[in-house]
Amino acid sequence: MRITVLKETRPYERRVAMVPDVVAKLIQAGYEIGIETKAGEEAGFSDESYKDKGASIISSTKEAVEQADIVLKVQPPFVDEIKQFKNGSTFISFLAPGTYLNEIKAFSEKSITAFSLELLPRISRAQSMDALSSQATVSGYIATLTTALSLPKFFPMFMTAAGTVPPAKVFVMGAGVAGLQAIATARRLGANVRAYDVRPAAMEEVKSLGATFVTLDLESQAGEGGYAKEQSEEFLEKQQELMTDQLKASDVVITTAAIPGRPAPRLITKQMVEAMSNDSVIFDLAAESGGNCELSQPGETVIHKGVKIIGARNVPSQLPTHASFLLSRNLMELTLLMTKEGNFVPDFEDEIVSSTCVVKNGEIVNESAKKLLEGSN
């Protein structure tokens, strides 16, 4: 069977779905590998580096998908690209089934089986395939470095002949994978770090990184699968009221709160921004899904009353080499889970396989996508 990796066509995307080292492992498992020419170029991987590992280089998207039994990508292809796919083939990528409805419909019309990495269940057996977590690691790291360069102050404490410079005060909202990486990076840079999460279980992880866990007089909001549940308006209003003092005391605020498949919770209002010091910085990692901060805009830096608000847009793509390195291993592990004796044979009784499948042989099986498509007709 043939796996093909396509060049990314969505704006702002520099990652690639497979790095050369993974090529060799999948060939060893019995697959032929085709790489669309220049697919890895922006991530630092040349066509030659893929050929050296045994892949063939394909000159066009049309030729690549016509030959493919399985297509791997980071972002979904456009509808016109999907129309060129081989009937009955398989597609795996980040698919955001609540967003790319036209693409899902196009997969259905071509009898394609499509899997979405966002839908992977948070179970121990799936950790090696967890692309959301691997890319969140990159995001947390980039968020901290970006704010360090944007803040008109040092991050670490400096003791000099001219006097002592105190460390920057960093406040991280949300202690999932991205938040923990942001905390760890800020600590490595010498900042004074505090963090908050609606899940009390996150306290030990925050403390283990040398940060202070902020406790508010609020009930736990722990949800299923290790995520926070969606908060009520009443909870968010009380949280915002209690959080204002924390923002006032911060030089840098990094927000990471997200709920898969739903708009990001609004954690910081315009009024809360106005209460902050006029040389402080906010980095909103949830800007693309609605924003944790009321004023953030995806891919833009907004300055309000002197506060710099950086809206995230495809942050992992800013570190494409290592983001691709991690993502390609997630894709490899998921592909190998569905491989037996060199053949791709998904076991739809397996929780991982059934959870990630959005379209099965042309039938839309993801309930969320199915309802949205039915509602749009």
Positions marked active-site? 122, 127, 130, 133, 227
Cα gap 316→16, rounded to integer Å = 11
> 354: how many CB neighbours lie within 10 A of its CB?
15
Report the 3 state secondary structure along 318-348.
Answer: HCHHHHHHHHHHHHHHHHHHCEECCEECCCC
For the record, the structure tokens of 222 come out as: 């722990």
Residue (of 272, 274, 270, 269) closest to 306 by Cα position: 274
Amino acid at 68: A
Cα gap 365→357, rounded to integer Å = 7
Percentages helix, strand, coil for the chain (3-state, rounded to 5) are 40, 20, 40
Distances (CA, A) of 234 to 228, 229, 230, 240, 282: 16, 14, 12, 10, 24
Rg for the chain, CA atoms, rounded: 22
